[in-house]
Amino acid sequence: MSVSHSPKSGSIVVQTLGPRLISTTFSGHTNRVVAEDAWQKFRTFVATMDAPVWLSDSRSLTGFDPNTLTLGARWFSLFRERGGKDCIVVSQWPVAVMAASTMALGVGIRVRSYATLDEAKLTASSLLRGEPSVV
């Protein structure tokens, strides 16, 4: 995994998994162009949600360009503006969790990290029901 200014690109799939659950799935090497394209969809979905929960799966992320963090901060700001308080990160890569945590801290969002998608989905379900996390 790398943090570099690489011409490689990956993908970010943005989807809703319920009326209050937004999901982002990162794969490959994310650069600013990839993030800008996904931002439009993220913004459209989150704008319709009240108090959303964000599930971010970066298990297939192989790296990212540092300049994508500025754009990532916009994602977290919008999420918070819509009442979002929890971002659930699925990753085995500490740098990805650290990057998400740093951006989230700036706007007061709690980041919970898990190694498996099953654990993350259990937590998302609990949060959506207003219960404390079970995992």
Residue 135's pLDDT band (cuts 50, 70, 90): low
The secondary structure of residue 45, as a DSSP letter, is: H
The CA-based angle 71-77-82, given to 5 degrees, is 135
What is the rounded distance in angstroms from the CA atom of residue 123 to the CA atom of residue 135? 6
Other residues' Cβ atoms within 10 Å of the Cβ of residue 125? 15
pLDDT digits (tens, 9 = 90+) for 51-100: 999 999 999 999 989 888 888 899 999 999 999 999 999 998 898 899 99
**What's the pLDDT score for residue 4?**
47
Domains of the chain: 2-128 (3.30.750.24)
The secondary structure of residue 131, as a DSSP letter, is: P
What is the rounded distance in angstroms from the CA atom of residue 118 to the CA atom of residue 12? 20
Return the C-alpha torsion angle 10, 122, 127, 61, nearest 10: -10
